[in-house]
Structure 1
Amino acid sequence: MGEVAAEDNPTADYIAVLTETTHVVIAITTGSIADESTAEAAAAARDANPLDGWLPITESRDGSTVSAVFHLLCSGLGIQALMLPVAFASLGWVWGIITLSIGFLWQLYTIWALVELHESVPGTRYSRFLDLSIAAFGPRLGKLLALFPVMYLSGGTCVMLIINGGGAMEDLFKTMCGGDGAACGIKPLDGVEWFLLFTCIAIVIAQLPNLNPIATVSLFGAIAAVGYGALIWILSVTKGRPEGVSYEPLIEAKSVEARIGSVLNAIGIIALSFRGHNLVLEIQGTLPSTPKCSSGTLPSTPKCSSKESMWRAVIIAYSLIALCLYSLAIGGFWAYGSKIPNGGLYVAFPQFHGHDTPKLVMGLTYLLIVASCLSAFQIYAMPVFDTLELRYTSIRNCRCSRRARTFLRVFFGCLTFFVAVALPFLGSLAPLIGGMTSTLTFVLPCFMWLMIKRPRRKSGKWWLNVGLGWLGVVLWAVMVAAAIWVLVDRGINANFFDP
């Protein structure tokens, strides 16, 4: 993650980037790469973080399979899953299930690739996605491809968590105390104040130093995410379907252009329901070597690898995630069919069943959503905390003090709060920005596997990664196009500074 010195001539710098990009594409398609380039890239990544023992992601490697399961569940399950029935409404039962299954297996494979690449070079652990990208593509192109997706999927997700968590807090208050707060004798807060309350709580929890102490928070977050998802789909199914529910795909009643847009949007919704790939390497970085080997901050070796423990955690966590995703998609679509609103189950359940659901149950649902958002904030913010502390330790050449660490995390919390207040409509842009960063989930792991593992050309692994990588590029274009179509078709309420 070290900074690359800027060239004096901007034209030469631009040509250098184009040259390096061309080199990578040729290497992928021919299955060969110069040994010197590979060695230089690996050395650059190996020397990128000489201060690992001082940084929050890597300062503690005493995690376990159990803690990794908690982190994966907390980061992998989110409120986006409540949108899956909307995708099914456009695709129908058969194509909805097929698309969801293909997407799930695809992203599970890229997770496996990341787990394997974490220790692909003997004596080196790539505990950050950016480090692995630099090792695969070189310092300049590696940053160009990975820096924006990683930073958005950390900082941008934290902004969205403030918006969603603050909104859920407001819905909880309205459910329990009424819109005017008369039932509780409390004056209701406005949107900015709910965002501020959520941010303050999140910053207090964020004072935990690194990922291992956060494991308990991730446990509560995982329970909350599974809990509110289960509550919503079970209650939706048991309370019966609204009258006139149809399961015919909505695209059948629209023009050709609208059909294409609806299908692309549905594919984008399904793709965005898979999240957390930007944290897989960071979570694996908290694990020690195998129990028979020494742990601590020592790098692992082929005989002392963390990938077995991490892969067990992935299997456990993503089995539960699959159960939740399919339950929400199938149960939600069965309950509401074509009547599912654009806001997904978060809007559909209170709209159709809020009047006949006890206050305590509705309140519990919103409370679990708040708890899930607060917990996810901690793990998604950790790469940003790590980057800020890297800058501090690089300048001061010492471990970040408690006072400095507190200041940096409060600063980040204030920054995300400001963005959430300034752009409360960011959720409307999430499909567009999320589509732009989908390369981190579906594309880059495949190409990084080719660049680092260098499988024999035209072998099974070579064809698999080349095919999935370029198919991911097509998916990226589809998701961006779908997001633009939705924005043009529905418009956007740009309520700046008015949450």
Structure 2
Amino acid sequence: MKELNDWLPITSNRTAKWWFSAFHNVTAMVGAGVLGLPYAMSQLGWGPGVTVMILSWIITLYTLWQMVEMHEMVPGKRFDRYHELGQHAFGEKLGLWVVVPQQLTVEIGVNIVYMVTGGKSLKKFHDTVCPSCQPIRTTYFILIFASVHLVLSHLPSFNSITVISVAAAVMSLSYSTIAWVASIHRGVLPDVQYTPRASTQAGRVFQFLSGLGDVAFAFAGHNVVLEIQATIPSTPENPSKKPMWKGVVVAYVVVALCYWPVSMIGYWIFGNKVEDNVLISLEKPAWLVAAANMFVVIHVIGSYQVFAQPVFDMVESFLVLQMNFKPSKMLRFITRTIYVLFTMIIGMTFPFFGGLLGFFGGFAFAPTSYYLPCIIWLAIYKPKRFGLSWFANWICIILGVLLTVLAPIGALRQIILQAKEYQFYS
């Protein structure tokens, strides 16, 4: 087992510092979802929108703290992967079935959405820089974006993508800042309206539900948090939770600096006319919009890798332990190449960015980020009934379950509406 751990991408290198945790967490959290927040606000409206944003920030910070605490709750043992924690809480078999399908849905879902985002941002960059050029299909830009990952995916471990992750974290701050500063510079639209986007009552309800999913998607770093913590060295005197938590707090401050201004100012300026990616609403100045889109591309390259590493870890350990393959470079090369091509083809086939965000956001992100850590916490620590910890966890669970049930309904309707006008591989 030790030999396998020394080979697998999550546990092969345990030399990370606290600031590695900060960068990886920012890269995992502040994804392309931030650009969809003004659109989510336009679906939710001012009051509910601000409330949902604040609640999400507090709840996910609390559940992230729980996961960091639980990483080494058994002396001498580390839960380096989300499913290992699940197995400790629910038993060997059930733990796998509870965690793995959800975690894989999130990580593969994010990677597919990032394929689409990367391709669309490249296209926007191309169209902005050269408005008179021959238009090129989005499909080809997704192909270009994927080709970068056909190279980067062969970096062996989580720590080997640190440089990419640092660049990605810096970019996320940059394009978030550009998004709200350029919006302010543009000024409030003359005929701005903050009424619901849809004209019918049913439409408003469905859009509200979809908006919830968009916000859930924006807070989805939990699926890689134990894997990030696994890269930090740990001793009984200096457990990894101290540097990890320091990094998480820094990351969450950056998240607030990115999310609040973009969502509030984007909605304030454009009202219900805002696009599902706020950068598309900003037409001028052209050079700034082009730069912001390039920043998005660089950031999404880093984010894709942060979410892909745990998938590689899972697939490679399954092939070695269950299928009796030898841990080799060839095995790694084939599995990772197939994975990148798979996410690329799905992304090319279904590039409904907005609807996908809400659907994945509610369906899989809400459980793993909002309430699965609370359920595990209750199962393991068994806090006193009706005590503060008990209440806090149950509130998170109830709100999270509502999100899981309601958000995909709204998003599914949005995907169906978008699919009506869609031509394959356009």
TM-score by length of 1: 0.79
User: What per-residue deviation string (whole Å, max 9, x for no partner) do you get for residues 431-469 of structure 1?
Assistant: 223311021111211000011122233322122212321
Matched, 1:227 2:227: no
Is the contact between residue 100 and residue 270 of structure 1 (CA under 8 Å) also seen in structure 2? yes
Partner of 1:451: 379
CA contact (8 A) 1:424 1:496 kept: no
- Structure 1 segment 376-387 matched on structure 2, within 5 A: 376-387=303-314
Alignment of 1:45-194 (within 5 A): 51-181=4-134, 189-194=136-141
Look up the match of 1:197: 144
After superposition, what is the alpha-carbon deviation per residue over 1:217-252, rounded to whole angstroms, capped at 9, x for unaligned? 0010011111111112101111212211134x427x
2:333 corresponds to = 406
Give the superposition deviation at 1:397: 6.9
Aligned position for 2:241: 307
Work out whether 1:472 is the aligned partner of 2:391. no
SS at match of 2:389: helix
**Which residue number in structure 1 is paired with residue 270 of structure 2?**
336
Change (3 A) 1:311 1:85: same
Change (3 A) 1:217 1:493: farther
**Residue matched to 2:251:** 317
The equivalent of 1:285 in structure 2 is 230
**1:289-341 deviation line (CA, Å, top 9, x unaligned):** 1xxx4xxxxxxx4x441111111001001101111100101111121123323
Match of 1:213 in 2: 160
Change (3 A) 1:84 1:190: closer
Q: How far off its partner does 1:427 sit?
A: 5.1
Larger Rg: 1
CA distance in 1, matches of 2:48, 2:353: 29
Q: 1:270 to 1:423 in 2, by over 3 A?
A: closer
Q: In structure 2, how many angstroms separate the alpha carbons of the residues matched to 1:234 and 1:117?
A: 39
Q: Give the aligned length.
A: 425
Shift of 1:143: 2.4
Amino acid in structure 1 at the alignment position of 2:389: K
Shift of 1:491: 4.7
Amino acid at match of 1:199: A
Change (3 A) 1:395 1:133: closer
* Partner in structure 2 of residue 15 of structure 1: none
Determine the C-alpha separation between the residues in 2 that align with 1:361 and 1:124.
Answer: 49
Matches of 2:139 and 2:323, distance apart in 1: 36
Output the CA distance in 1 between the equivalents of 2:413 and 2:116: 24
Query: Does the residue aligned with 1:492 lie in a helix, a strand or coil?
Result: helix
> What's the counterpart of residue 492 of structure 1?
419
Kindly report which structure 2 residues correspond to 1:239-388, keeping only aligned pairs within 5 A, or say none.
Answer: 239-247=186-194, 249-250=195-196, 254-289=199-234, 293=235, 301=236, 303-341=237-275, 343-350=276-283, 354=284, 357-358=285-286, 360-388=287-315
Aligned match of 2:183: 236
1:201 CA displacement: 0.8
Q: Match for 2:337: what amino acid?
A: V
Distance 1:91 1:160 in 2: 22
Summarize the Cα distance change of 1:430–1:269 in structure 2 as closer, same or farther, 3 Å threshold: closer
Other-structure match for 1:421: 348
TM-score normalized by structure 2?
Answer: 0.92
Partners of 2:351 and 2:39 in 1: CA distance: 22
Instruction: Report how far residue 108 of structure 1 moved.
Output: 0.8
**Displacement of 1:88:** 2.5
Greater shift in the superposed pair: 192-201 or 227-236: 192-201
For residues 165 and 255 of structure 1, the distance between their equivalents in structure 2, rounded to whole angstroms, comes to: 34
Q: Distance in 1 between matches of 2:254 and 2:307?
A: 20
Which deviations, in whole Å up to 9, do the C-alpha atoms of 1:180-214 show, x marking residues without a partner? 35xxxxxx643332222111112212222111121
CA contact (8 A) 1:163 1:195 kept: yes
Equivalent position SS for 1:246: coil
- The residue type equivalent to 1:373 in the other structure is V
Unaligned runs of 5+ residues in structure 1 are: 1-46, 182-187, 294-300
CA distance in 2, matches of 1:86, 1:167: 17
Determine the structure 2 residue equivalent to 1:394: 321
The code of the aligned residue for 1:461 comes to S
Asked if the contact 1:425/1:493 (under 8 Å) is kept, the reply is no
CA distance 1:150–1:179, shift in 2 (3 Å): farther
Compared CA separation, residues 119 and 493, structure 1 to 2 (3 A): farther
Amino acid of the residue matched to residue 464 of structure 1? A
SS for the counterpart of 1:214 is: helix
* Alpha-carbon distance in 1 for matches of 2:104, 2:362: 14
| Matched residue SS, 2:159 | coil
The 3 A distance-change label for structure 1 pair 229 and 60 is same
* The 10-residue stretch of structure 1 (332-341 or 377-386) with the greater mean CA deviation from structure 2: 332-341
> Counterpart of 1:250 in structure 2: which amino acid?
P
Which one-letter code corresponds to 1:315 in the other structure? V
Amino acid at match of 2:273: K
**Counterpart contact for 1:428–1:492, Cα < 8 Å:** no
Q: Aligned letter for 1:193?
A: Y
* Residues 317 and 337 of structure 1, relative CA distance in 2, 3 Å threshold: same
Over the matched positions of the two proteins, sequence identity in percent amounts to: 29
